[in-house]
Structure 1
């Protein structure tokens, strides 16, 4: 592909073309992501919903048995999952984003030991809805700092971000 600029992501590669951004999955992590997430995040949100329902039931059951500390832990974990579900509803796992549909691209720096560096792309889907696509960058165990610098440089070069 001519004029292609590529950088590594957590699960594969991001290819920046003149008219679109294509995310490909590669290796073991990419194959697992293909199976669990696919092209949308509905499947993973259903799994989280089932898990949080089970945890709420377990919290209620433990509370009735007088096991208050474990029921509080189940409740906290369940509420955390429910929060994650609602914040993820506007996310997308689409592998192709048309550059003309991109509204904004933001870079979020990693919090050491807690989060990864990532790009958040706000774009318009075919149906007119605004969605967010996260591009997770490699972690510190896989040369993440160097790859992150390269990714930022390419995004600036392509005028997708202007930090």
Structure 2
């Protein structure tokens, strides 16, 4: 077994070491992600929350002016964002995961043309809470199929994916 195995992700690379998983960011997409999200998902959730409040406000204003389609549309989009915020509360953006703290790794396959494949890594953080780290794989425009097959093979060789 090699000491390190690496595969491409959406924003950089995933390095599988004997004792931990390290996610690095590379290139333009990685630099943008580093600036906008950093190592914490809270900033993104606050932005989603602000957009939701704005949507509800504009929906309410449109309702007061006698419109019906805009308030319904803004309300549905706002509810969808609230669902996204609630379902993302246990997500983590940590770049390093100790392998001994990993509870489970699942592969979510892509829906062609709609989503990209990803690994969902459930692990225990330093506070003892179970968190989920998404490892997004490259999309269909960047050879996603081959990169996904390579990543799955590495995760199986390292006995992280069953």
CA RMSD of aligned residues (A): 0.7
Question: TM-score, normalization: structure 1?
Answer: 0.97
Q: Is the 8 A contact 2:4 2:16 kept in 1?
A: yes
Alignment match, 2:63: 63
Alignment correspondent of 1:132: 132
What are the equivalent positions in structure 2 for 1:10-159 lying under 5 Å apart? 10-159=10-159
In 1, Cα distance between the equivalents of 2:113 and 2:81?
20
Contact 2:41-2:91 within 8 A present in 1 as well: yes
In structure 1, C-alpha distance between the alignment counterparts of 2:129 and 2:95, rounded to whole Å: 17
TM-score by length of 2: 0.98
Q: Deviations over 1:119-149 (max 9, x none)?
A: 0000000000000000000000000000000
CA distance in structure 1 between the aligned counterparts of 2:15 and 2:22, rounded to whole angstroms: 5
Deviation per CA, 1:80-125, whole angstroms, max 9, x where unpaired?
1110000000000000000000000000100112211000000000
Structure 2 portions without partners, runs of 5+: none
Q: Is the 8 A contact 2:113 2:140 kept in 1?
A: no
Q: Distance in 2 between matches of 1:28 and 1:65?
A: 44
Pairs aligned (count): 161
Return the alpha-carbon distance in structure 1 between the equivalents of residues 147 and 17 of structure 2.
Answer: 18
